[in-house]
Structure 1
Amino acid sequence: MAIAEFFATQFIRREAAHRSGITGNVEWTRHLSEVVADIATANGFHVKTKAVHDEFGRAEYFTLDALCLEGAHPQHGADRIAFPLPAITLEFENRPDRILYDYWKLLCVRSRLRVLVLIVPSDSAEARHIAELTALRAEHASLDGEDLLLGGRNGMANKPDAVWTVHVWRSGGFQGIKLEEGQPWNRPVP
């Protein structure tokens, strides 16, 4: 049985077996989230859902800090939903696991531009993170779109002359680039 059919069968069976007294959207979302969690757990997967909290009291797993959509959204009268441009995560903890997790989330999103903004204490810390991010990105070499890393330093919010480092994924690695004044944000720098 293909994975889609397996999941559909499990979902329909479990949902029908546990449905009772659902009166609103919140209860319905929680009910269906619990069904998904039951299927995942029964099949040896770890699961996070919006409606079911884990042992640390957290719910959602795949939260991104920002998604920007080109043009109008269908909710506001557009006739199609565009893929995000860009998809953005912001990471202010100098922890490799958090930085890799935030970048992994971006790699899961179909976007022409994925942006990871990190604040780290030093150039050497940034270099270590870039090496780890390069290894992760290399595992997903077939992805379309561009990846942009913007690196800042701890305490830069209080320094008007603070400078961001800019790295773009090109030819199998992140390359540092210098931006030209007045260049549109959505065009690659040659």
Structure 2
Amino acid sequence: MPAISNAKIAILATHGFEQSELEVPRDKLRSAGATVHVVTPDGQAIKGWDKTDWGSEVEADKALSTVQASDYDALVLPGGQINPDLLRVNDSALSLIRDFVGNGRIVAAICHAPWLLIEAGVVEGREMTSYHSIRTDVKNAGANWVDREAVVSNGIVTSRNPDDLDAFTAKIIEEIEEGRHERG
């Protein structure tokens, strides 16, 4: 049985997440057999952003205060501009991200979500990608920015935009099947 069938994955998001960047990984990871929990700051439903306007609500499974990195194999961080900008000033969100990285668990960030990795202080020396408009932010934080659909750097997966969702999700599955990562 593939490791993904036994995996527990948290998706951390708040209002303004890019609709497809939460729903596609959530649905594909669940279809692959993983248990996936949508985690929001207060455990309440959140409203997405769908390309150019507000999208649909997504129900939360858990509140951020009830989640620990040790309970999960991976953390997925959807982008959009609003969602990561709100979360990067949330100390509990940043602490959770640091705990995932510190414990060798998979962290996957797409689009503008690498802002969260930057704010958590976990990008220096890594190869990463992101939405093109935050390329300079990623570089200034000490990462080597590359223009590829999915980049893996020692268990941290990054992708550029919704067009990369298939590659992004495939890399998350691949990394979970590889297991925990020692981080340098």
Q: TM-score, normalised by structure 1?
A: 0.31
- Answer 1 or 2: which has greater helix percent: 2
Q: TM-score, normalised by structure 2?
A: 0.32
**The structure with more radius of gyration:** 1
Higher relative contact order (CA 8 A, sep 6+): 2
